[in-house]
Amino acid sequence: MIEYWNPLIERMPIEELNKLQEDKLKSIVRYVYQHSEFYRKRFDEARIKPEDIKTLADVTKLPFTYKKDLRDNYPTGMFCVPNEQLVRFHVSSGTTGKPTVVGYTKNDIHEWATSLARAMASIGVGRGDIIQISYGYGLFTGGLGLHYGAEEVGCTVLPTSSGNTEKQIELMQDLGTTTIACTPSYFLFMTEVARSMGISIKDNTKLKIGIFGAEPWSQQMRARIEEITGIKAYDVFGTSELSGPLFTECTYQDGIHIWADQFLIEVIDPETGEVLPEGERGELVITTLAKEALPLIRYRVGDNTVLNKEPCKCGRTHPRIMRILGRVDDMLIIRGINVFPGQIEAVLMNIPEVGEHFQIIVDRVNELDVMTLQIEMTDAAFSDKVNDIIKLEDKVASALHKVLNLAVKVELVEHGSLPRSMGKSKKVIDNRKI
Amino acid sequence: MENKIIKQISLFSENKPGRLANIADKFRGAGVNIRAFTIAEAGDFGIIRMVVDNPELAHEVLHETGFTVSETNVLGVEMEDVPGGLAKIADVLGKENINIDYAYAFVTKTEKALLILRVNDIKAALNVLERNGIKLLDMREIQDI
């Protein structure tokens, strides 16, 4: 049976949903123009008045918002409400520059929890489920974000945060965790630690659902995780500038449902800024329709995806974004060829001898980019004949060459020698100084 | 005849300083004695192959340390430590079309030399060697070397 959190909204006929979006778009544009000095200036520069936005299609007349705008207006320069109306701040890690600060009103927190409650209901998580949240709590949006969503939908929350892995596995067994939320790489690490404790996630725990995200992971990795642990693995999407984790796939695992009454999404050509026809891969752009503290207009999320407006088999009419291969910023350019780490993962996970841990190293040798892929030796792949191992390296290299059209040097390394991650894993080491 | 099959320990190791020391140290701690040993190196990695007095314990110790390790069936052939000793063995196997995947040898305390062989067809190799009066060592004899 398909469960809905809010069937009226989730299954709303598309024409009605479009009308609702149109009204909300007009209202948020008026709101930011009134309450944000930043947007007033940005709209004036673009010679746009709120009255110019009459239909949904008019959204393309609006200027984009960039991550740089949030940084330039650090910490709270783009907020639309005074600080006393805020109930929470979240702050991005700022690994690539100045951190960004996002404020939330009480309503914002509620909308966020609602979005996730719908998402969790769509994968069959709710009352009676014990959800272990192993995303980091604190400034990072992952932990607290899912926490409020899970409570909203009626789960019992076990807020373990990340780390202290053996304890996490003990609790998972003792309390009967049914659902886990963390990065896919941390979950893989957990299964390894569990194995070393003599515990099989599949046979010795009640875990049945995983909500995984905060880093790109491939369809093939999903198949691997589901096979090893016997759970259903779902992709969760969000970005700290909007409000961390917000959306998931439904049980059909066919794209992430984006709630159209809360967010308006477009997919654009990152070079020209033009909206792409449905089904073409491009950069995700999101306009918040319900946020009060920090609404964003046409925010350039940077993730690379495909839009699908077809109603889903689950009965939900809201648009979906298809599996995200990585952020536009994560794309590597190797000898002029665009490479997403997600593509490499997809190739690797199709080769049964290859384990779940790998690392991509890019160097520049004599003005030429050289990509080395390190993969860990597994018990299944090990042969004590040198030739067999060299054959495996060649097999991986040729599979990658077929997909990437690039020569990749493949190195097998010892099991356990690549770094394990408690949060977002770092799969690429780029040593080029460009 | 089956008891003439010797369990060799094989393990995958990256080709970098300290790896062998780590393995040797684990063996010292566990009291595992190495009887025969070789490294096949191939650029970034190597395969370490060993015949030890207690293969089960060695396997367990290495696996717990995190190494990728396997047990491989090999043959321990006693050779006369004189010119032509190896030739005789290679000759009988070759005539039966049995391929030697790899081999390593060492001299024992007696007048004999020991040859460790991995072949593509271990049963056939056992047969042909015994038929030709070539002595094969069992695990107990390996321990006594």
Domains of chain B as residue ranges with CATH: 2-72 (3.30.2130.10), 76-144 (3.30.70.260)
A78 band by pLDDT with thresholds 50, 70 and 90: very high
Does residue B1 carry a pLDDT above 60? no
Beta-carbon contacts of A63 under 8 Å, excluding residues fewer than 6 positions away, are A42, A43, A45, A46, A48, A297, A298
Q: Rounded to a whole number, what is the distance in Å from the CA of A180 to chain B's nearest CA?
A: 27
Residue pairs spanning A and B at CB distance below 8 A: 50
Backbone phi, psi, residue A77, to 5° = -60, -20
pLDDT, mean of residues A366-379: 91
Of A384, A389, A415, the CB nearest to B72: A384
Least confident of A152-161, A212-221, B94-103: A212-221
Q: Pick A337 or B74 by higher pLDDT.
A: B74
Spell out which residues of chain A touch residue B69, defining contact as CB-CB under 8 Å: 382
Percent of chain A at pLDDT > 70 equals 97
A73, A160, A240, B34 from A92: Cα distances, Å: 14, 20, 6, 55
Cα A412 off chain centre by: 29
Does residue A160 carry a pLDDT above 70? yes
**C-alpha torsion angle, residues A184, A185, A191, A193 (rounded to 10):** -150
- Cis peptide preceding A352, ω within 30 of 0: no
Joined tokens for residue A34: 């009134």
Q: Note the pLDDT tens digit of each residue in A395-432.
A: 999 999 999 989 999 999 999 999 998 887 888 999 98
CB contact under 8 A, A385 and B102: yes
Does residue A274 carry a pLDDT above 60? yes
Per the prediction, chain A carries an average pLDDT of 93
User: A233: left (phi > 0), else alpha (psi -120 to 50), else beta?
Assistant: beta
CB contact under 8 A, B70 and A412: no
CB contact under 8 A, B70 and A382: yes
A85 band by pLDDT with thresholds 50, 70 and 90: very high
Question: Any idea which residue has 């939908």 for tokens?
Answer: A153
Of B13, B14, B101, the CB nearest to A385: B101
Does residue A328 carry a pLDDT above 70? no
Rounded Cα gap, residues B90 and B112, in angstroms:
17
Question: Any idea which residue has 């005539």 for tokens?
Answer: B95
Spell out which residues of chain B touch residue A359, defining contact as CB-CB under 8 Å: none
Most A CBs within 10 A among B68, B74, B118, hence the mutation to make, goes to B68
Beta-carbon contacts of A27 under 8 Å, excluding residues fewer than 6 positions away, are none
Rounded Cα gap, residues A237 and A256, in angstroms:
7
Spell out which residues of chain A touch residue B8, defining contact as CB-CB under 8 Å: 384
Instruction: State pTM to two decimals.
Output: 0.85
Does residue A166 carry a pLDDT above 90? yes
A434 band by pLDDT with thresholds 50, 70 and 90: low
Q: What is the pLDDT of residue A325?
A: 65
Closest CA to A185 of A377, A361, A357: A357
Of A384, A412, A414, the CB nearest to B49: A384
Does residue A356 carry a pLDDT above 80? yes
Q: What is the pLDDT of residue A425?
A: 80
**3-state DSSP of chain B:** CHHHEEEEEEEEEECCCCHHHHHHHHHHHHCCCEEEEEEEEECCEEEEEEEECCHHHHHHHHHHHCCCEEEEEEEEEEEECCCCHHHHHHHHHHHCCCCEEEEEEEECCCCEEEEEEEECCHHHHHHHHHHCCCCEECHHHHHHC
Residue of chain A whose alpha carbon sits nearest to that of B43: A411
Least confident of A51-65, A272-286, A308-322, B79-93: B79-93
Q: What is the pLDDT of residue A110?
A: 97
Q: What is the pLDDT of residue A1?
A: 66
Spell out which residues of chain A touch residue B40, defining contact as CB-CB under 8 Å: 386
Q: Note the pLDDT tens digit of each residue in A235-273.
A: 999 988 998 899 999 999 999 999 999 999 999 999 999
Joined tokens for residue A53: 């936005």
Does residue B141 carry a pLDDT above 90? no
Spell out which residues of chain A touch residue B42, defining contact as CB-CB under 8 Å: 386, 389-390
Q: Note the pLDDT tens digit of each residue in A99-128.
A: 899 999 999 999 999 999 999 999 999 999
Beta-carbon contacts of A221 under 8 Å, excluding residues fewer than 6 positions away, are A184, A345, A346, A349, A356
Does residue A98 carry a pLDDT above 90? no
Answer yes or no: are the C-beta atoms of A76 and A103 closer than 8 Å.
yes
Domains of chain A are: 1-328 (3.40.50.12780), 331-430 (3.30.300.30)
Most B CBs within 10 A among A384, A386, A392, hence the mutation to make, goes to A384
Spell out which residues of chain A touch residue B12, defining contact as CB-CB under 8 Å: 377, 382, 389, 412, 414-415
Q: What is the pLDDT of residue B128?
A: 93
Q: Rounded to a whole number, what is the distance in Å from the CA of B65 to chain A's nearest CA?
A: 10
Q: What is the pLDDT of residue A119?
A: 98
**Strands A209-213, A232-238: pairing kind:** parallel
Partners of A180 in the beta sheet? A132, A210
**Strands B34-42, B69-80: pairing kind:** unpaired
Cβ atoms within 10 Å, residue A344: 24
CB contact under 8 A, B40 and A386: yes
pLDDT, mean of residues A3-20: 96
Backbone phi, psi, residue A187, to 5° = -65, -40
Rounded Cα gap, residues A134 and A162, in angstroms:
5
pLDDT, mean of residues B84-101: 91
**Strands A320-321, A256-257: pairing kind:** antiparallel
Q: What is the pLDDT of residue A180?
A: 98
Spell out which residues of chain B touch residue A378, defining contact as CB-CB under 8 Å: 68
Interface residues of A toward B, Cβ cutoff 8 Å, are 377-379, 382-386, 389-390, 411-417
CB contact under 8 A, B45 and A412: yes
Answer yes or no: are the C-beta atoms of A180 and A204 closer than 8 Å.
no
Determine whether A412 is exposed, middle or buried from the number of CB atoms within 10 Å of its CB (0-12, 13-18, 19+).
buried
Rounded Cα gap, residues A63 and A395, in angstroms:
48
CB contact under 8 A, B12 and A414: yes
CB contact under 8 A, B68 and A413: no
CB contact under 8 A, B12 and A389: yes
Q: Pick A80 or A97 by higher pLDDT.
A: A80
pLDDT, mean of residues B29-44: 91
Q: Rounded to a whole number, what is the distance in Å from the CA of A1 to chain B's nearest CA?
A: 45
CB contact under 8 A, B45 and A389: yes
